[in-house]
Structure 1
């Protein structure tokens, strides 16, 4: 049975925590297997040492639907504590937000993907905490996708809010491991502590025994999260990624797409461990609101064999061969970047984006990334905790 860092903190609370002034970065998915929310738990075990809260993208209660939909500062309706939004007027904590803290606790589910913005928010907190001499404790959680890495290493010229550090699109680390790695590589003068989780050996979320509570509105189930690191590419193109349906990122397509023709053109080896089920759907909001879209539901049949980025690249490549001009690149802005192409920021490889639009097969695109992934494994090995 896997126990998270939050649960470990509750089982054995360090004395230092009870003597410190605490802040907590969290959201609705920050809870125990018995559904006790992190803010209430921290108040209980620390003798009410919690002084304020911080929220990432989508808001403290994950109520904001889409990218670049900001949250205001607020007050927790039950605890009466100030909630500072780190996805609003500012996307990093300001000095006055940390000035009365000794320790900033972090308890967030990451979904194992560079584009998911929660780690960028954590890194912004780490940098500001280092400037002000505030300790950061990461209450670790499993990487829901388990170990495994895919995609190009992000070049520095494509750094953005969805690319805070040179890493692959799917990185394979926990939030704590990633924090330790990046703090080391950036040489942050930071008092960083990771409260490790227990009983996890790199498996995916399905084996953990933890409840899935959506960390953001469009990851309502683990099946959505499982395909997200590949399907997030759809945010950079004109296809619907299934927002406005009950199966975001699993359902995808566009008006005029022939799912049977596309299915026949997809590289079969790239879909190992998955099945493309032809569907038609009608989004209630977002892209193609009210229009019937042809497309697919991407259904994972064998998680051990499934490669999410490879599968998504293969489908996009096939669509571009079967329906030239149907899948176009979206234009900026995207996550506060107003000049660079969104898909360049998401995938992290301009040349691969251009080749993908020409219908280059996924297995061919992947070959250029293998040396970078080998180097990534060497960089991460000293920081693996599990």
Structure 2
């Protein structure tokens, strides 16, 4: 059922008031408004149009449903819905798979029972502290890439350690060991996973989730995934991963932008038998979904979600998160994306090829200990503000045209003999990011952005149908 938007409603009501009486049409509209509110309260699945001052928010919808602006303040993430999962931890030995993003607001702890943290002056607290305050028997912490505190640079090997505050062991799942070992799980009954993702296949938290579920199911350990929004959830774009290009930056036959939350992907991994484990496992997967903070309502993928905590050191803000699906491809080239500057994933630059008018010097820092083109000056295009995003087409997902234009700038420099540097300096890694070598070959062969996008269009439609049984929230294309 479709409803008029807020502007149409207000205009029509004002017209009725001008005539000085409550007409039948006014009563009808108000009746429909009540129906609409009831529909939303009971989880109506019509797709709503999301609006925001940020160009990263979805700008189109399939109906005229009233606008709703959801952000971090309006949503109750899975971790904050304590009544939905604390009973699953009662009397169990618990392992937490978390990083710095596993925060819960202290006011949400009022619904968790007796909790001294609920009166804290701090706006939020780490899930580990919240669960310990609830007398949950946490035995160990497992940390992904960037570490438990999220302060390690990309690719830095993380060693296991002990948490200074709680004395709990922290098992690293990035480095030599990416899958929890039997020794790590020896005294664990249930694993709780709570990590903020950004909705991109090569962001490695997804691969960590895969190995966590797989290891747990091998030892009959239950898994609870506390779901969080996907800030790029409105997009499904990019090539489907081919098995020959599988790696830790891409393990599943899904597109680069999959449009799913980690909770939904966890269900899909199990349902599609992407995990390697005994079919006789007694393990249970439980996903605690996202809800509205004050009422029952669907989280929608088109709703703008500004991350309250940076998910990793080089994705410090909304601009970087929105640009990451496109700019990360430059990691397989000689182009810098701003690692070692104050604008990681907010620029493209090179010391010899003039990719823009901004001159920015690269210096090693905590987030990028060994940055590309260290101590050199980059000729850069900077995407520092939300307004600057209009120069990069993020509305349709991956900006293939930006990749093509940058490749052609390198080719032109070679033709002019002003530089002899290669563009694809790490072609194997570029292909792992893409999940195929076809994208790189099409760029080299001069194919247009439209031709490249069309090359994966049919596969994306198949993927959307394949993922549908695992979706916890309305599909972007749903009209029900």
Structure-2-length-normalised TM-score: 0.70
Please give the alpha-carbon distance, in whole angstroms, between the structure 2 residues aligned to 1:305 and 1:161. Answer: 25
Please give the alpha-carbon distance, in whole angstroms, between the structure 2 residues aligned to 1:351 and 1:17. Answer: 46
Please give the alpha-carbon distance, in whole angstroms, between the structure 2 residues aligned to 1:322 and 1:241. Answer: 16
Aligned partner (choices 312, 319, 339) of residue 223 of structure 1: 319
Aligned to 1:62: 150
How many residue pairs get aligned? The number is 353
Structure-1-length-normalised TM-score: 0.86
Shift of 1:221: 1.1
Determine whether 1:140 maps to 2:227: yes
The gaps in structure 1 that reach 5 residues or longer are: 261-277, 332-339
SS of the counterpart of 1:300?
A: helix
Aligned partner (choices 192, 197, 204) of residue 290 of structure 2: 197
Aligned to 1:284: 363
Please give the alpha-carbon distance, in whole angstroms, between the structure 2 residues aligned to 1:317 and 1:281. Answer: 23
The gaps in structure 2 that reach 5 residues or longer are: 1-73, 106-122, 276-280, 293-298, 365-370, 415-420, 474-480
Shift of 1:176: 0.2
Shift of 1:383: 1.0
Aligned to 2:96: 24
1:320–1:327 contact (8 Å) kept in structure 2? no
Please give the alpha-carbon distance, in whole angstroms, between the structure 1 residues aligned to 2:163 and 2:263. Answer: 26
Residues 154/316 of structure 1: CA separation in 2 closer, same or farther (3 Å cut) = same
Shift of 1:356: 1.4
Please give the alpha-carbon distance, in whole angstroms, between the structure 1 residues aligned to 2:84 and 2:402. Answer: 48
1:105–1:136 contact (8 Å) kept in structure 2? yes
Please give the alpha-carbon distance, in whole angstroms, between the structure 2 residues aligned to 1:81 and 1:373. Answer: 43
Please give the alpha-carbon distance, in whole angstroms, between the structure 1 residues aligned to 2:313 and 2:93. Answer: 31
SS of the counterpart of 1:160?
A: coil
Aligned to 1:334: none
Larger radius of gyration: 2
SS of the counterpart of 2:209?
A: helix
Shift of 1:35: 2.4
SS of the counterpart of 1:152?
A: strand
Please give the alpha-carbon distance, in whole angstroms, between the structure 1 residues aligned to 2:444 and 2:345. Answer: 20
Determine whether 1:318 maps to 2:398: no
- The CA deviation string for residues 223-281 of structure 1, in whole angstroms up to 9 with x for no partner, is 11111111110111111111011111111110122336xxxxxxxxxxxxxxxxx5332
Residues 13/192 of structure 1: CA separation in 2 closer, same or farther (3 Å cut) = closer
Please give the alpha-carbon distance, in whole angstroms, between the structure 2 residues aligned to 1:187 and 1:245. Answer: 38
Map residues 189-268 of structure 1 onto 2, 5 A cutoff. Answer: 189=281, 190-199=283-292, 200-206=299-305, 212-259=308-355
1:244–1:289 contact (8 Å) kept in structure 2? yes
Please give the alpha-carbon distance, in whole angstroms, between the structure 1 residues aligned to 2:235 and 2:216. Answer: 30
Please give the alpha-carbon distance, in whole angstroms, between the structure 2 residues aligned to 1:227 and 1:322. Answer: 20
Please give the alpha-carbon distance, in whole angstroms, between the structure 2 residues aligned to 1:289 and 1:78. Answer: 36
1:300–1:306 contact (8 Å) kept in structure 2? no
SS of the counterpart of 2:403?
A: helix
Please give the alpha-carbon distance, in whole angstroms, between the structure 1 residues aligned to 2:308 and 2:331. Answer: 23
Aligned partner (choices 349, 360, 364) of residue 436 of structure 2: 349
Shift of 1:303: 10
Determine whether 1:36 maps to 2:36: no
Aligned to 1:92: 179
Residues 41/205 of structure 1: CA separation in 2 closer, same or farther (3 Å cut) = farther
Please give the alpha-carbon distance, in whole angstroms, between the structure 1 residues aligned to 2:408 and 2:392. Answer: 28
2:98–2:143 contact (8 Å) kept in structure 1? yes
Aligned to 1:49: 137
Map residues 37-186 of structure 1 onto 2, 5 A cutoff. Answer: 37-45=126-134, 47-67=135-155, 69-186=156-273
Determine whether 1:2 maps to 2:2: no
RMSD of the TM alignment (CA)?
2.0
Residues 187/156 of structure 1: CA separation in 2 closer, same or farther (3 Å cut) = closer
